Amino acid sequence: MKYKMVAIDVDGTLVDKNGNMAAEDIQAIKRLTHSSVTVALCTGRSVQTTKPFIDELGLNTFHIFYDGAFIANTYTKCKMHSQHIDADLVCEVVAFCRNNNIYLELCANGAVCTTDSPSPLLTNWSATIDTDRLFVEKPYRLGATHHDFLHMDPTVVNFDDIIGKEDILKAEIFVGNDDEAMQAKQFKDYFGDRLNYSIVQSPSLYDVYFINVLHPQVSKGEAFKQLIDYWGYHPAEIIAIGDNLNDISLLGTVGVSVAMGNACDELKHVANYITNPIEEHGVATAIKFFFQL
C-alpha cells in the first residue's frame, strides 16, 4: 500500500512537555513532504499557537484546529470550515458555570473572511491569521502554567460582553481535583448531547484534564472527513497518529491508526499499531516503519 497522507496530533504526539518537537520527528516529517506525502496537523490548539510548528515543518496545507471546529491553511490564508457553538447555548453554558462555580474559558477566531476564493469549498482571509481569542472571567489556579505553555495570554472580560459578537469555537473546563471532576460530570449531565466533549491532557500538566466543549457535530474525526473529501484520498491511503482521547475519532476515519507509546489506554485499544513514546520520537519511528524513510 502506498500511503498518501499522514494526520498527526500535536501535544503529546509531536510536541513534548517542554513545548518542543524532536529533531528526529521534524526531519522525518520533512522527508515525507519531500516525497509528496500530505501531512496535516490535527489539534485542539488554536491557529496562533499551532502556527510556529507549521512554519518550522514547512507544511503548506490544511490543518485541523480547535478539535475540529476550524480547518484552515495558514500559508494561503484559506479557511475550509468553521463551526461555532450557537450563541444562545453559549449563554446557557456561561450561566451554568457561574451558578456552579466552574472555571470556564471561551475560545474564538476573529479572522475576517472574503468571498474571493479559489474554490467553492474555501474562503480567503482578509485579515492576518493571528486573530485567535482566549477569554476568561477570572484567573484559575493552574491557568498561568497552561497559558505559558501555549504562549497565549487570555483576555479578562465579562462573557456577556462578547457573546453574540465573537463566534465561540470551543469552551474549556479544567479538572484538577475531585470537586472539579464532579462539577464536570454535572455539566455533561445537564447539557448532554446538545454539546460534544473531548477530554485531553496537556503535556505541561499531567495531573489536569481539560474538557473541550464543542458544537455537537464537531470532532477531529468529522473535520478530517472533510479533508479526505477535499484531497480525494481513500481512507486506506491515510495514517493517523495520536495520543489522547480526543484522537479516537480521528483514528477511526483512516486505514492505519497509530497510538503513541505514551497514549492513553483507550486510544491504544482502538489503534492498529503502537509506536514509541514521544520521548523516543514515536512519530519518526512510525514514519520510518510505514514509509521506509
pLDDT tens digit sequence for 87-127: 999 999 999 999 999 999 999 987 655 444 445 455 554 44
State the Cα–Cα distance between residues 92 and 179, nearest whole angstrom.
21
Domain 83-214 has CATH 3.50.50.60: no
Given a cut of 50, is residue 79 above it in pLDDT?
yes
Tell me, rounded to whole angstroms, the distance of Cα 172 from its chain centroid: 12
User: What would the DSSP string read from start to end of 103-155?
Assistant: --EEEEE---EES--SSTT-EEESS-S--EEEEESS--TTHHHHHHHHT-PPE
Q: In the CATH scheme, what is the code of domain 5-81+218-291?
A: 3.40.50.1000
pTM for the predicted model, two decimal places? 0.91
Contact 247, 266 (CB under 8 A): no
Cell matching residue 145: 502554567
Is the model's pLDDT at 47 over the cut of 70? yes
| DSSP 3-state percent helix, strand, coil across the chain (nearest 5) | 35, 25, 35
Query: Is the four-CA dihedral 246, 248, 252, 258 of positive or negative sign?
Result: positive
d(CA 102, CA 173) in angstroms, rounded, equals 7
Which residue has 491553511 as its cell numbers? 73
Question: What region does 236 belong to: left with phi over 0, alpha with psi -120 to 50, or beta?
Answer: alpha
Q: Do 115 and 31 form a contact (C-beta atoms < 8 A)?
A: no
Average per-residue pLDDT for the chain: 89
Q: Which residue from 84, 124, 81 is spatially nearest to 106, judged by alpha carbons?
A: 84
Domain boundaries along the sequence of the chain: 5-81+218-291, 83-214
Least confidently predicted of 91-95, 200-204, 245-249, 279-283: 200-204
Residue 12, by phi and psi: left (phi above 0), alpha (psi -120 to 50) or beta? left
User: Between residues 172 and 142, which one has the greater pLDDT?
Assistant: 172
Distance CA(285)–CA(293), nearest Å, equals 10
Checking if the pLDDT of 129 tops 80, the result is no
Rounded CA gap, 81 and 63, in Å? 10
Exposure of 158 in the CB half-sphere (CA atoms within 13 A): 2
Helices 47-57 and 23-34, interaxial angle, to 10°?
70
H or E element that contains 213: strand 205-214
